[in-house]
Amino acid sequence: MSRLTVLVGAAVLLGVTTILAVRNPLVASAAVALLVMLICAFQMDGWRWLLTLTMALLVGASSDVEALADASFYPRYVAVGGLVVWTLCLRRSAAAGPTKPWTGVLIGSLWVLAGLATLSAVWSIAPFESFQRGLALLLLAGLVHLLAQRRWPDRTVMMADLRVVYLVLAVSVVVSIGYGATDGTLATALSGSSRFQGLFSNPNMLGMVCALAMPLGWAVYRETGRRAELLGIVPAAGALVLSQSRTGLVAVLVGALWVVLRHGIGTLTRVAVGATAALLAGYLSGLLPSVFAASWMQQFVSRFTQSDLSNGRIRLWHMTVDLWWENHPALGYGYASRNHLYELASYDELRGFNVGLVHNSYLQMMLELGLVAAVPLLLTVLAAGWAAVRAPVNRANSGLVWLIVTGLLIQVTESAMFGTGQTYPYVFWLAVVAVLLHLPARRRAGHHRAAADAPPPSPRPEASPQPAASPQPAPSAEPGTSPHRGRTPVLR
């Protein structure tokens, strides 16, 4: 295919998509997504194509477009189940070795949490919801476990799979911007009248997707070295700012700073000098003052200067702790019962508050599963923290460690770490197991000391050349007899 044909085809496709976007944004978005999937299908193996479809369905299920959300609701679980079954049928990777300790801790803790979530249907205030979501969490734990054993020990395959996840997230952000441009929500967000959410159910959901896409894109770029991989980071950064998600923005910046600090003082100095120079150039050129004078930026800045930065979350956390600890401290109310807790609390004259969403993943799990989930929950967080602290920040790890730190921080004010109906938990836990799976082996300190204390081998005197002789029989070493202790015979 000639270059002219490609350019003409791209121009025609752009024109048709633009017309569709003006008349029917949903059809245009579906057409773009279908085209991307078809292109990927010709360049990927079947498993990776199913992964693409799964991530697209998870994005669709978390959409604000009712038709798209309804069409993706059940197929997303079928697609995840298909990934699990397909991975189970794969042969164990030749690169697979013994399971590393912290990889085993993560996988085991996820299995325990998923088992408790499913079992909580017995005492849950919403048994069917707990059982259904518990099965979905079991699928997530199974997918993480099987990938660690059968497919991802091969680092090349693993990074190719993660690249597909990044492309789906980046495309969803681009489609969201296009969708917002056609229905007027993008212009409204730019005018500072509201927060931008694109295709997603709320601005915080868009912010979380962007916060995952940016470090994941950096990881893919660092692994491949292709600058084109960075193109998806640009719209994600813009959409993150327009969503005005304070937690997402702060978490991304803190995660990036963590990676820079891990690189050492030299890298930190260079980044600081570069950032200062960029800000100074922006100020002298007048670009920085004009950006901060924009209405959308003023509204964004005002969100950091309001009296209650938590937007009532801190009060909600206190009330949630009381609701949990005073009623069901040991077992909680049942996994995924949060949608029904509002009804329960609204009839309580002492507490008329909405606890349908706690806005804290860690507290949410304690509310739903109680103290029995405390240990496995702590172990999953420790495993993620171990990956962020111990993994070398070279190549793709610089982006994956960035993603892990960002993800852990976001869940302080959001409740999506185990929310299996969206992309967040899949991307986050796959990134954690990817880092843990390829952690370099650590030598034991005792081994180093023994090697250092051992005396150097004595030099063996070189034998002078002598005429060859017939070989002597080996000395007897029968039980009860002493081997010959004379001088070792030299072959003559």
Summarize pLDDT for 131-178 with one digit per residue, the tens: 999 999 999 999 999 999 999 999 999 999 999 999 999 999 999 998
Total domains in the chain come to 1
Average confidence (pLDDT) over 385-403: 94
Asked, for residue 210, whether it belongs to a domain, the answer is: yes
- Alpha carbon distance 42, 32 (integer Å): 16
Least trusted range by pLDDT, from 126-140, 309-323, 383-397: 309-323
Average confidence (pLDDT) over 52-70: 91
**Number of Cβ within a 10 Å radius of residue 450:** 10
- Report the Cα–Cα distance between both ends of the chain, in Å, rounded: 73
| pLDDT at position 434 over 50 | yes
Domain that holds residue 299: 98-437
Asked, for residue 31, whether it belongs to a domain, the answer is: no
Summarize pLDDT for 99-128 with one digit per residue, the tens: 889 999 999 999 999 999 999 999 998 899
Cβ(138)–Cβ(182) under 8 Å?
A: no
Cβ(216)–Cβ(165) under 8 Å?
A: yes
Asked, for residue 257, whether it belongs to a domain, the answer is: yes
| pLDDT at position 475 over 50 | no
- Alpha carbon distance 394, 435 (integer Å): 11
Average pLDDT, the chain: 80
Asked, for residue 52, whether it belongs to a domain, the answer is: no
Asked, for residue 189, whether it belongs to a domain, the answer is: yes
Asked, for residue 38, whether it belongs to a domain, the answer is: no
Is the pLDDT higher at 167 or at 441? 167
Summarize pLDDT for 213-270 with one digit per residue, the tens: 999 999 999 999 999 999 999 999 999 999 988 889 999 999 999 999 988 887 778 8
Asked, for residue 385, whether it belongs to a domain, the answer is: yes
| pLDDT at position 361 over 70 | yes
Asked, for residue 90, whether it belongs to a domain, the answer is: no
Residue 488 banded pLDDT, cuts 50, 70, 90: very low
